[in-house]
């Protein structure tokens, strides 16, 4: 059952990539050679990474480019699409299509498939910049026409004392050296005299400065001023090299913008609005001299403004050089920026149109070639017959020199081609969604069947129903179900094979058949279950419970996209003890503490996602609150028993933990203030934090196995590490959740009515005779209370991950998360630290839940299956909320939400194993035992 579950959930997990994340790139589409005359022989592309429009149009720190834009050039806003990141921004500018969603499987860093670009279509391209950008366009290049000089930017420090202009200075210096070399290198000079060539300069300094210093700061503005000055110098060098022949086009733009707090990836205006400045050969200049100022900017001329979409830069650059528009481009030529005659302009737009038709037609033919003719549904507005008719008609218009009609018709065809591309790209999406949905429901039924077999077969009533006619009928039904399943499997396999669909489609379409066959057979089991429920008159009560838990699971699923919904089950949880039969056994303080804790936790779901703002004072406050709680524990439980050897040892360990936490809070505060004051952070404090973090997991193992003592040691260690990676209110969230989970454990203890035992006497011992005397020690079947406990546990797990936002999101990443450990860009170390931070709340919940399992003797295997049922209900909900468009934050969050509900049971098994070590291993006894054995050996 375990391995079947792994297989089923892996299928669910990977199905979203076939449903939502298929590459939009059409392979082997035919390029179209343009017919118009090129207005330029060469193009120089400056991409100022991370420069937002606001930093250009509202500041005077780029005076030269602003002068160009307002006099002999054009400027405007280039509207990017989310995700606003470096790779997709450069792909949109140079290849003309928006991020390939299948790149998510490679971390948005590598090309999942090869694609065409302006560089590939050029005669020669020379590129300078960071390796992870320039190499995007060299993979798959077969003409050896792209030459790159690259560097690794990631050895640059995040620390505030670093000069980010060094990154751009490297690029500008290399370009200057390149043209100096060309004066003496005949082979290079000959290549540079060719037509249809491109120079690409990737300038990362602005992006790094924005992350480190934040936009609007003096350091950031100094960086963009440095870029402006050097662009002016590079332009003059190129003009001098070509004797100012008037055949060079210059384009400055940006891949994405940036927020005020120095992040990007989402869809804020500051991130999606980037500037561009276009000047030189072939650029349509403004003839009138009205000089009307743009009211949205500072001293920028309105008549020079021409806003475009980012992908439109690709056909624009192609048209300047009269090279084929990259076959994968979805950009539409902004003809108003071209200084061309009407015939050349019409031919340029028609070239763009034919490139889009080529993409659409190849995609249409690929689907038609594999589809079964009876089932095939074509894109009616633009079927194969209409494609040929429109091409022939447009060609005739060109021959007849009806250029205005060519322009108008070409623009309509481009819109139609894009709609058709989207239709065929998602052609199999709905059937896949339907069959995966059936698999989800079928798997839930299989899990319910497993629980029924565990519980119902133990009931004596099951054996009393001897209706042989009913048994015979159920066996006949079993045979019919199996025969139908085999027939349906063969038919679907043949249909998939005939259409030439990928191998995994066999699994997607056949899995629901086998899951439902297993779930429904034997039919007699379900009949007997209904019979038993009817006799006990529990069928209506069961129906209400099923409805409540289903709605609760759906609410948890909804909470993954709307965090405030977490407050609904939390508020319901706060009222739960008041409906319990044993409520009178609860102390009065619990009646207030539990609802207050649940309400407090729900408040965090309304607060902003961590990462955007930094409030170190809140982090320190959370630590101080926990120091007070730990001190109260020492005074209440340890000082009163100081004569006991174990209590004295735990007293010393507790004091060590208090001093360790206090030292960590000091390091957090000092490092943060030094960073804010632009001073180098203390390496000594960083070393201390590393040492503390290594020792933290070991300290709780020195406590005894008593619930209260061991859990306090574990939670103090977890919170200490968590605070070292915190920047805002998440520390307070962690404190609140720890207190609330432990209050839940106390309530469960009180509700099982153990009159002769106190909770501080309960231990994580397998053979505790005192506990066995009072707790049921026989294995029992799952009960309705276990369904409730499993739901609470699932809620806490979801809350631990999403209570303060998706803290695994790259977009919400704040440099100061890792300030106590490193200030250098080390992706592996940073990712590991963030993952450990994510793991910390789960461990706290799992350790407390393990105590609850000890108290209630809950069957852990059945509890995991119940959790699996809840997670599958959430997974089914999330299946329809996975995003393949939008920001990296939106896409990444939707994927992480889906993944966590798919892997939640495996994840819980892993966390429980770690929790088992933390709660059951005791270093002190192990050391004493070894010492005793060694003494005995030598005596």
Give the C-alpha separation, 430 to 409, whole Å: 33
Q: Does the bond joining 83 to the residue before it have cis omega, within 30 degrees of 0?
A: yes
Give the C-alpha separation, 444 to 617, whole Å: 46
pLDDT of 687 strictly over 70: yes
pLDDT on residue 382: 87
Residue 427 zone, left/alpha/beta (φ > 0; ψ -120 to 50; rest): alpha
692 and 827 assigned to the same domain: yes
Give the C-alpha separation, 801 to 604, whole Å: 12
pLDDT on residue 875: 87
What are the tens digits of pLDDT across the range 18-62?
Answer: 888 777 778 888 899 999 999 999 999 999 999 999 999 999 899
pLDDT of 102 strictly over 60: no
* Range of the structural domain that residue 251 is part of: 31-340
Q: pLDDT band for 581, please (50, 70, 90 cuts).
A: low
pLDDT on residue 463: 47
DSSP conformation class of 640: G
SS3 (DSSP) at 643: coil
What are the tens digits of pLDDT across the range 293-337?
Answer: 999 999 999 999 999 999 999 999 999 999 999 998 999 999 999
Single out the residue in 340, 371, 387 at which a domain terminates. 340
pLDDT of 779 strictly over 60: no
pLDDT on residue 775: 41
pLDDT on residue 104: 56
pLDDT of 758 strictly over 50: yes
Full-model pTM: 0.72
909 contact partners, CB below 8 Å, separation of at least 6: 864
Nearest-5° Cα angle at 202, 200 to 208: 175
323 and 439 assigned to the same domain: no
Please list, residue by residue across 65-87, b when 16 or more beta carbons sit within 10 angstroms of its beta carbon and e when fewer do. bbebbbeebbbbbbbbbbbbbbb
What are the tens digits of pLDDT across the range 906-923?
Answer: 777 788 888 888 888 887
To the nearest 5 percent, what fractions of the chain are helix, strand and coil? 65, 5, 30
699 and 643 assigned to the same domain: yes
In whole angstroms, how far apart are CA 187 and each of 120, 126, 746, 939? Answer: 21, 14, 82, 87
273 contact partners, CB below 8 Å, separation of at least 6: 52, 53, 54, 77, 78, 79, 80, 257
pLDDT on residue 938: 44
What are the tens digits of pLDDT across the range 483-530?
Answer: 999 999 999 999 988 888 888 999 999 999 999 999 988 888 888 777
Q: Are 134 and 117 in contact (CB under 8 A)?
A: no
Residues, the chain: 939
The answer to the question of residue 743 being in a domain is yes
pLDDT of 773 strictly over 50: no
The answer to the question of residue 228 being in a domain is yes
719 contact partners, CB below 8 Å, separation of at least 6: 622, 623, 626, 661, 731, 734, 735, 738, 840, 844
DSSP conformation class of 460: G
What are the tens digits of pLDDT across the range 802-852?
Answer: 777 654 444 445 566 788 888 766 667 877 888 888 888 989 999 999 888
Q: Give the percent of the chain with pLDDT over 70.
A: 86
567 and 510 assigned to the same domain: no
Q: Given CA atoms 174, 176, 178, 184 in this order, what sign does their dihedral have? A: negative
3-class SS string, 330-347: CCCCCHHHECCCHHHHHH
pLDDT on residue 712: 92
pLDDT on residue 936: 46
The answer to the question of residue 7 being in a domain is no
Give the C-alpha separation, 391 to 351, whole Å: 12
pLDDT of 439 strictly over 50: yes
Give the C-alpha separation, 283 to 115, whole Å: 28
Q: Give the percent of the chain with pLDDT over 90.
A: 40
Single out the residue in 340, 373, 404 at which a domain terminates. 340
In whole angstroms, how far apart are CA 399 and each of 394, 396, 407, 592, 795? Answer: 9, 5, 14, 85, 69
Q: Which among 529, 527, 603 is positioned nearest to 567, based on CA atoms?
A: 603
Q: pLDDT band for 902, please (50, 70, 90 cuts).
A: confident
More confident residue, 240 or 385: 240
590 and 654 assigned to the same domain: yes
Mean pLDDT for the chain? 84
More confident residue, 290 or 778: 290
pLDDT of 113 strictly over 80: no
pLDDT on residue 154: 63
Q: Are 258 and 264 in contact (CB under 8 A)?
A: yes
Residue ranges of alpha helices (H) inside 501-587 are: 504-520, 523-535, 539-559, 567-575
The answer to the question of residue 890 being in a domain is no
Within 10 Å of residue 519's Cβ, how many Cβ atoms? 20
462 contact partners, CB below 8 Å, separation of at least 6: 456, 528, 532
CATH number for position 80: 3.40.720.10
pLDDT of 727 strictly over 70: yes
Pairing of strands 146-151, 273-280: unpaired
Q: Give the chain's domain count.
A: 3
Least confident range from 136-140, 373-377, 658-662: namely 136-140
Single out the residue in 340, 355, 372 at which a domain terminates. 340
Mean per-residue pLDDT for 886-913? 73
Q: Which two tokens stand for residue 504?
A: 């995994």
520 and 573 assigned to the same domain: no
729 and 595 assigned to the same domain: yes
What are the tens digits of pLDDT across the range 184-240?
Answer: 999 999 999 999 999 999 999 999 888 878 898 888 899 999 999 999 999 999 999
pLDDT of 568 strictly over 60: yes
pLDDT on residue 807: 47
| Max avg pLDDT among 78-87, 146-155, 245-254, 285-294 | 245-254
277 and 138 assigned to the same domain: yes
Give the C-alpha separation, 781 to 858, whole Å: 8
More confident residue, 199 or 116: 199
SS3 (DSSP) at 82: coil
Long-range contacts of 109-116 (CB under 8 A, 24+ apart): 110/139, 111/136, 111/139, 111/140, 112/23, 113/23, 113/25, 113/27, 114/139, 114/140, 115/25, 115/91, 115/140, 115/326, 115/328, 116/31, 116/326, 116/327, 116/328, 116/329
pLDDT of 288 strictly over 90: no
Q: Which two tokens stand for residue 699?
A: 């300290």
Residue ranges of alpha helices (H) inside 44-157 are: 53-57, 63-70, 86-94, 118-121, 131-134
Give the C-alpha separation, 644 to 95, whole Å: 74
592 and 462 assigned to the same domain: no
In whole angstroms, how far apart are CA 775 and each of 264, 746, 755, 772, 779? Answer: 55, 15, 11, 5, 11
Q: Which among 447, 602, 417, 607 is positioned nearest to 518, based on CA atoms?
A: 447
Mean per-residue pLDDT for 576-596? 81
pLDDT on residue 934: 54
Q: Are 793 and 867 in contact (CB under 8 A)?
A: yes
Q: Which among 322, 237, 317, 230 is positioned nearest to 276, based on CA atoms?
A: 317
pLDDT on residue 582: 66
Q: Which among 45, 70, 94 is positioned nearest to 231, based on CA atoms?
A: 45
The answer to the question of residue 363 being in a domain is no
The answer to the question of residue 4 being in a domain is no
Within 10 Å of residue 676's Cβ, how many Cβ atoms? 12
276 and 132 assigned to the same domain: yes
Q: pLDDT band for 611, please (50, 70, 90 cuts).
A: low
The answer to the question of residue 130 being in a domain is yes
Q: pLDDT band for 595, please (50, 70, 90 cuts).
A: very high
Q: Are 711 and 846 in contact (CB under 8 A)?
A: no
Long-range contacts of 234-243 (CB under 8 A, 24+ apart): 234/44, 234/46, 234/172, 234/175, 234/176, 234/201, 235/44, 237/175, 237/176, 237/179, 238/44, 238/179, 238/199, 241/179, 241/182, 241/183, 241/192, 242/42
Pairing of strands 308-309, 273-280: unpaired
193 contact partners, CB below 8 Å, separation of at least 6: none
pLDDT of 776 strictly over 70: no
603 and 530 assigned to the same domain: no
Give the C-alpha separation, 273 to 254, whole Å: 9
pLDDT of 769 strictly over 60: no
Q: Residue 834: enclosing H or E segment and its boundaries?
A: helix 827-856
266 and 233 assigned to the same domain: yes
pLDDT on residue 858: 73
709 contact partners, CB below 8 Å, separation of at least 6: 637, 650, 703, 760
What are the tens digits of pLDDT across the range 352-380?
Answer: 999 999 999 999 998 888 888 788 888 88
pLDDT on residue 766: 58
The answer to the question of residue 381 being in a domain is no
Within 10 Å of residue 933's Cβ, how many Cβ atoms? 9
């Amino acid at each position: 059952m375990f391995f079947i579950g792994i297989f089923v959930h892996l299928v669910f997990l990977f199905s979203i990539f076939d449903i939502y994340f298929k590459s939009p790139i059409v392979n082997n589409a035919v390029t179209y050679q343009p017919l118009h005359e090129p207005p330029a022989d060469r193009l120089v592309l400056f991409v100022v990474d991370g420069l937002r429009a606001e930093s250009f149009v509202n500041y005077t720190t780029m005076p030269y480019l602003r002068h160009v834009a307002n006099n002999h050039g054009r400027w405007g806003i280039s509207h990017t699409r989310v995700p606003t990141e470096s790779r997709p921004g450069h792909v949109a500018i140079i290849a003309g299509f928006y991020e390939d969603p299948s790149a998510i499987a490679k971390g948005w860093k590598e090309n999942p498939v090869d694609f065409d670009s302006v560089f590939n279509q050029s005669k020669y391209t020379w590129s300078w910049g960071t390796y992870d950008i320039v190499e995007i366009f060299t993979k798959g290049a077969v003409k050896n026409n792209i030459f790159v000089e690259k560097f690794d930017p990631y050895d640059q420090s995040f620390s505030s004392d670093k000069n980010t202009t060094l990154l751009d200075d490297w690029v500008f210096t290399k370009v200057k050296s390149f043209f100096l070399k060309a004066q003496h290198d005949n082979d290079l000079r000959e290549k540079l005299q060719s037509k249809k060539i491109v120079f690409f300069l990737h300038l990362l300094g602005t992006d790094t400065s924005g992350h480190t210093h934040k936009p609007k700061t003096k350091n950031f503005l100094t960086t963009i001023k440095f870029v402006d000055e050097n662009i002016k110098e590079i332009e003059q060098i190129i003009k001098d090299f070509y004797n100012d022949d008037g055949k060079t086009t210059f384009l400055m733009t940006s891949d994405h913008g940036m927020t005020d707090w120095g992040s990007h990836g989402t869809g804020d205006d500051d991130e999606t609005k980037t500037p561009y400045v276009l000047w030189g050969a072939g650029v349509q200049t403004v003839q009138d001299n009205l000089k009307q100022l743009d009211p949205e900017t500072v001293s920028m001329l309105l008549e020079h403004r021409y806003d475009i979409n980012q992908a439109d830069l690709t056909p624009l650059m192609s048209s300047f050089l009269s090279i084929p528009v990259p076959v994968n481009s979805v950009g539409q030529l902004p003809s108003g920026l071209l200084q061309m005659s009407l015939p050349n302009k019409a031919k340029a737009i028609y070239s763009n149109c034919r490139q889009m038709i080529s993409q659409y037609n190849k995609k249409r033919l690929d689907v038609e070639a594999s589809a079964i003719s009876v089932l095939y549904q074509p894109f009616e507005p633009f079927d194969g017959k209409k494609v040929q008719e429109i091409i022939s008609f447009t060609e005739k218009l060109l021959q007849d020199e009806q250029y205005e009609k060519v322009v108008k018709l070409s623009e309509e065809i481009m819109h139609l081609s894009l709609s058709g591309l989207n239709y065929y790209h998602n052609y199999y999406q709905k059937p896949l969604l339907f069959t995966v949905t059936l698999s989800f429901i079928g798997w839930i039924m299989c899990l319910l069947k497993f629980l029924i077999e565990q519980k119902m077969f133990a009931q004596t009533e099951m054996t009393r129903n001897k209706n042989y006619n009913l048994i015979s009928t159920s066996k006949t039904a079993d045979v019919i179900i199996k025969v139908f399943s085999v027939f349906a499997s063969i038919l679907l396999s043949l249909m998939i094979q005939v259409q030439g669909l990928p191998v995994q489609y066999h699994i997607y379409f056949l899995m629901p058949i086998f899951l439902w066959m297993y779930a429904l057979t034997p039919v007699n089991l379900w009949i007997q279950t209904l019979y038993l429920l009817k006799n006990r008159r529990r069928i209506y009560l069961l129906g209400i419970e099923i409805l409540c838990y289903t709605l609760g699971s759906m609410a948890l699923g909804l909470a993954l996209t709307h965090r405030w919904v977490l407050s609904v089950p939390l508020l319901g949880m706060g009222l739960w003890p008041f409906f319990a039969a044993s409520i009178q056994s609860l102390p009065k303080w619990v009646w207030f503490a539990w609802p207050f804790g649940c309400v407090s936790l729900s408040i965090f779901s309304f607060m902003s996602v961590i990462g955007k703002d930094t409030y170190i004072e809140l982090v320190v406050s959370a630590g101080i609150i926990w120091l007070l709680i730990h001190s109260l524990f020492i005074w209440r439980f340890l000082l009163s028993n100081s004569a006991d050897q174990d209590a004295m040892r735990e007293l010393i360990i507790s004091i060590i933990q208090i001093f360790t936490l206090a030292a960590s809070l000091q390091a957090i505060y000092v490092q943060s203030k030094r960073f804010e004051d632009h001073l180098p952070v203390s390496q000594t404090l960083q070393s201390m934090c590393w040492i503390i973090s290594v020792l933290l997991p070991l300290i709780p193992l020195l406590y005894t196995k008593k619930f209260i003592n061991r859990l306090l040691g574990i939670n103090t260690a977890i919170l200490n590490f968590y605070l070292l990676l915190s920047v805002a209110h998440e520390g307070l969230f962690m404190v609140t959740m720890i207190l609330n989970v432990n209050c839940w454990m106390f309530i469960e203890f009180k509700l099982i009515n153990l009159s002769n035992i106190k909770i501080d006497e309960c231990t994580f011992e397998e053979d505790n005779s005192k506990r066995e005397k009072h707790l049921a020690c026989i294995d029992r079947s799952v009960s309705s209370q276990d369904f409730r406990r499993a739901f609470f546990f699932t809620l806490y797990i979801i809350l631990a991950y999403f209570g303060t936002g998706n803290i695994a999101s790259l977009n919400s990443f704040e440099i100061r998360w890792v300030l106590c450990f490193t200030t250098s860009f080390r992706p592996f170390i940073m990712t590991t630290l963030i993952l450990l931070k994510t793991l910390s709340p789960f461990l706290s919940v799992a350790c407390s839940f393990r105590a609850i399992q000890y108290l209630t003797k809950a069957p852990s295997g059945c509890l995991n299956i119940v959790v699996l049922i809840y997670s599958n209900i959430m997974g089914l909900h999330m299946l329809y909320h996975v995003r393949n468009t939008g920001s990296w934050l939106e896409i990444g969050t939707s994927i992480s939400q889906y993944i966590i509900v798919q892997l939640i049971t495996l994840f819980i098994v892993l966390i429980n194993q770690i929790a088992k070590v933390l709660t059951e291993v005791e270093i002190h006894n192990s050391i004493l035992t070894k010492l005793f054995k060694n003494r005995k050996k030598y005596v």
